[in-house]
Amino acid sequence: MSTDIVERVLSGDRRALARMVTLIENEAPEARDYLARLYPQSGRAQIVGFTGSPGAGKSTLVTQVVRELRRRDLRIGVVAVDPSSPFTGGAILGDRIRMQELAGDPQVFIRSMASRGSLGGLAASTRDVARALDAAGYDVVIIETVGAGQAEVEIVRAAHTVLVVTVPGMGDDIQALKAGILEIADIFVVNKADRPGADQTAAELRMLLSLAGKQPKSAEVWRVPILKTSATLGAGIPELVDALFRHRAFLSESGQLTQRNQRQVRSEVLALLQHTLGQRLRSAVAEDEWQRLIDEVVERRANPYSVAELLARRVGLGDSKEDAVSSREGATSAS
């Protein structure tokens, strides 16, 4: 059966893929082995991340982009992620339901992922789900996140191409755009561009991007385009899809695709190691001992640094010769 599901996913079986995605989302123990087996077949899709402020119309835009990609006869996977709190989810759910219009198309696979567990866990699950869709043969995999904070930045970091969606009249808000967002944006979209102020918003963005060194003259550096769309009117969508493919071509031809992949693999391996550390800690230290150590620190009978050293030794991390403080013994004697 374990052979079965991986092979069925690779052969394009949608039900097997849906089950695989559920196993990944639930962090089922067998999921990692399945992912290891899917991995060699991944790496063909263009992974595209959509992020930006709530209310920027991302879901409608994604729906239009999917339609345009279908016109170009491509198979599309969509992973929609909401890392925010449940009580902001109402309007978003409506958008997602609209997106489900696409779900009747057998060449489109859409999955919403709810926030559960840690942010790191969500970012990892999203990356793994995108990888499964990639291995299953979807040509473009879109990761859409709700919001524009650090959480969303983490999530779309796994993409080849990151689109940041804004709207006209952001005014002061544009100042508040997280530096992190500017740094990850490969394409900026001013959506709802039929509203007043779209040109001004585009000009302000161009200025910010210039300041950040993202509007270079050199052809060796990607010049972040600022595109205007109206997702509800369907305007500017073919141009946006063209820009996606232009970015993919730029990455390949400039050699930056390899660099980006290397950076992503490095951070993924580090995240997997941290996950292992957490597992080892849970099996090496019983909850009541944890609680006792924490109490000692809270009551100033121990300090956090020596407790961390004690636990590092317990999980096997404690024998580095370079560790200058490892000669101190015992967590509770340090104060």
Closest by alpha carbon to 99, among 109, 113, 107, 89? Answer: 109
- 151 forms part of the interface with a second copy (CB under 8 A): yes
Nearest CB to a second copy, comparing residues 3 and 104: 3
- 175 forms part of the interface with a second copy (CB under 8 A): yes
| Options 13, 42, 235, 246; binder of a second copy; rule CB under 8 A | 42
| Options 182, 184, 241, 244; binder of a second copy; rule CB under 8 A | 182
| Options 1, 29, 104, 288; binder of a second copy; rule CB under 8 A | 29
- By CB under 8 A, which span of 1-9, 16-24, 52-60, 70-78 interacts with a second copy? 52-60
- 280 forms part of the interface with a second copy (CB under 8 A): yes
| Options 9, 35, 184, 190; binder of a second copy; rule CB under 8 A | 35
| Options 74, 215, 281, 332; binder of a second copy; rule CB under 8 A | 281
CB 80 within 8 A of CB 59: yes
- By CB under 8 A, which span of 67-75, 136-144, 190-198, 310-318 interacts with a second copy? 310-318
Rounded distance between C-alpha atoms, residue 241 and residue 251, angstroms: 16
The least distance separating a second copy from the CB of residue 100, rounded to whole angstroms, comes to 24
Sign of CA dihedral 112, 113, 115, 119: negative
- With b for 16 or more beta-carbon neighbours within 10 A and e for fewer, the 13-38 pattern comes to beebbeebbebbbeeeeebeebbebb
- With b for 16 or more beta-carbon neighbours within 10 A and e for fewer, the 212-238 pattern comes to eebbeeeeeebebbbbbbbbeeebbbe
| Options 18, 223, 261, 289; binder of a second copy; rule CB under 8 A | 261
- By CB under 8 A, which span of 57-65, 146-154, 223-231, 234-242 interacts with a second copy? 146-154
| Options 117, 196, 234, 304; binder of a second copy; rule CB under 8 A | 304
- By CB under 8 A, which span of 58-66, 73-81, 145-153, 228-236 interacts with a second copy? 145-153
Site residues for a second copy, window 314-333 (CB under 8 A)? Answer: 315-325
Site residues for a second copy, window 102-121 (CB under 8 A)? Answer: 119
**Which contacts (CB < 8 Å, 24+ apart) does range 326-335 have?**
330/306, 331/293, 331/296, 331/302, 331/306, 331/307, 332/296, 332/301, 332/302, 332/306, 333/306, 334/302, 334/303, 334/305, 334/306, 335/300, 335/301, 335/302, 335/303
Size of the chain in residues: 335
- 276 forms part of the interface with a second copy (CB under 8 A): yes
- By CB under 8 A, which span of 40-48, 101-109, 195-203, 216-224 interacts with a second copy? 40-48
- 150 forms part of the interface with a second copy (CB under 8 A): yes
Q: Which two tokens stand for residue 324?
A: 């200058």
Number of residues counted as binding a second copy (CB under 8 A): 83
Rounded distance between C-alpha atoms, residue 106 and residue 138, angstroms: 11
| Options 211, 233, 249, 286; binder of a second copy; rule CB under 8 A | 211
| Helix (H) / strand (E) containing 112 | strand 108-114
